Amino acid sequence: MQIGFLFFHHIHHIYHSVPIAFELSSLGFNVELIVTSNAVKKVIDELAILYPRQSCKIVFLKGPVLYRYANIRRKKYPRPQMMMKKYANKLDQYDILVGTSFETHRLFDQFSVNHPKYVFTFHGIGVRDYGFQSSLKRYDLLLLPGKNMAEDLVKSELVNEENWEVIGYPKFDFIQRNKKTFNSIFPEKRPTIIYNPHWNKKVSSWYDWGKKVLDFFLSSPDYNLIFAPHILIKEWKQRWLKLNKYQIAPHIHIDLGSHRLIDMTYTMIADAYLGDVSSQVFEFLNEPKPCLFMNSHGLKREKKQDFPQWEFGNVISNFSDFPYKLNSIFKDHPDFITNQKSFIHSAFDTNDFSSGKRGADAIINHFSL
């Protein structure tokens, strides 16, 4: 039985499936981690230290010659679609393939990789239409973080009674295993705000208001700021972004590309969250904390799964309201604690077992391994 976990995308996908791979291999199954970039391999090697019993084998697929020697755009990984096509015959030899990207369906739709059974585990919690694609019907097993998503998928008729299992949120397993103390990264003790804008220009606050936000904190004596945008802002949208004037301030920490953007270091350090529609707020609210959201595009909530995080704190649509609402963020928090707790309880299922172990058991039971 050959089980493969696909890591063809950016490093933020790793945390959502590799705990399942580690747990499966700890039980004696032959598990291979299929990677296409050194950046992904490096993160996996670091995380594997937390699982001393795991025995996963890393299979490194080389990108095309042009990517390796003429990567003008400095892409951190070769195009997934190109790699799927290039290695389709090899991937067809696996009995089970586990993926986290909505592009995974290309393997069976376009490249006739039909032998494996397919498992999908989300890299987030699917609160917008993007998380409810029709390709989900094609998977043999969906591993879900909580009952909210399960209910939404059932209503959308994207699942049947037999092809899904709620396992919790594998990324949270690393908090339990790491036992890491998250100390402040600032020299002076002040309330620490994390600003975490989305990468998509259609919904993100960064492209219209981001510099105004940084200017506010630059001149403010009251807060520490962690500017930790979605990792794809630097990777996809603003490759040459430089913020030198802010980086020299001792109370502002800027990170545009390290793995700390995605390993929950900053969300654990921060006292309050500032953002727009990024799903990282759900990880931040592993424990209830103050939030403020910026709607710079005048977006409307047309259905339940549109921006549910906007019920976790005040939402501003005019930047002139920003200073006042930020300064009241801690005072206003009690008004939103119930909403935060209720949503997180439904979004992330927990029990006595780790999500990685639950995911491994779900695969074993579903395919009678």
* Alpha-carbon span 229 to 297, nearest angstrom: 18
Retrieve residue 241's tokens: 């972004």
* Alpha-carbon span 245 to 208, nearest angstrom: 19
Structure confidence at residue 164 (pLDDT): 93
- List the chain domain ranges: 3-169+351-366, 192-347
Query: Tell me, which fold does domain 3-169+351-366 have in CATH?
Result: Rossmann fold (3.40.50)
Amino acid at 349: D
* Angle, CA 322 vertex, CA 321 and CA 326 arms, to 5°: 120
The second-level CATH assignment, the architecture, of 192-347 is: 3-Layer(aba) Sandwich (3.40)
Q: By three-state DSSP, how is residue 89 classified?
A: helix
Q: By three-state DSSP, how is residue 201 classified?
A: coil
Dihedral over Cα of 79, 84, 85, 87: its sign: positive
* Alpha-carbon span 207 to 190, nearest angstrom: 27
Contact criterion met (CB below 8 Å) for 196 and 210: no
Whether the model clears a pTM of 0.85, i.e. scores above it, the answer is yes
Strand order in the sheet with 31-35: 57-60, 31-35, 3-7, 96-99, 117-121, 141-144, 164-166
* Alpha-carbon span 356 to 359, nearest angstrom: 5
pLDDT in tens, 133-166: 777 888 999 999 998 888 888 887 888 878 999 9
Contact criterion met (CB below 8 Å) for 167 and 98: no
pLDDT, greater one: 249 or 184: 249
Average pLDDT over residues 240-256: 87
**CB-count exposure of residue 365 (10 Å: 0-12, 13-18, 19+):** exposed
The closest alpha carbon to 276, from 260, 298, 254, 252, belongs to: 298
Average pLDDT over residues 173-193: 83
* DSSP secondary structure code for residue 264 in this structure: S
Crossing angle of helices 337-347/147-155, nearest 10°? 70
Contact criterion met (CB below 8 Å) for 75 and 40: no
pLDDT in tens, 52-67: 999 999 999 988 766 6
Structure confidence at residue 135 (pLDDT): 78
pLDDT in tens, 185-208: 898 999 999 999 998 888 899 999
Computed over every residue of the chain, the mean pLDDT equals 89
Retrieve residue 269's tokens: 């350090």
* Alpha-carbon span 164 to 115, nearest angstrom: 20
Structure confidence at residue 66 (pLDDT): 63
Same CATH fold, 192-347 and 3-169+351-366? yes
**CB-count exposure of residue 133 (10 Å: 0-12, 13-18, 19+):** middle
Retrieve residue 325's tokens: 């609402």
* DSSP secondary structure code for residue 56 in this structure: P
Structure confidence at residue 179 (pLDDT): 66
User: For the chain, where are the E strands, in sequence order?
Assistant: 3-7, 31-35, 57-60, 96-99, 117-121, 141-144, 164-166, 192-196, 224-227, 252-254, 272-275, 291-294, 314-316
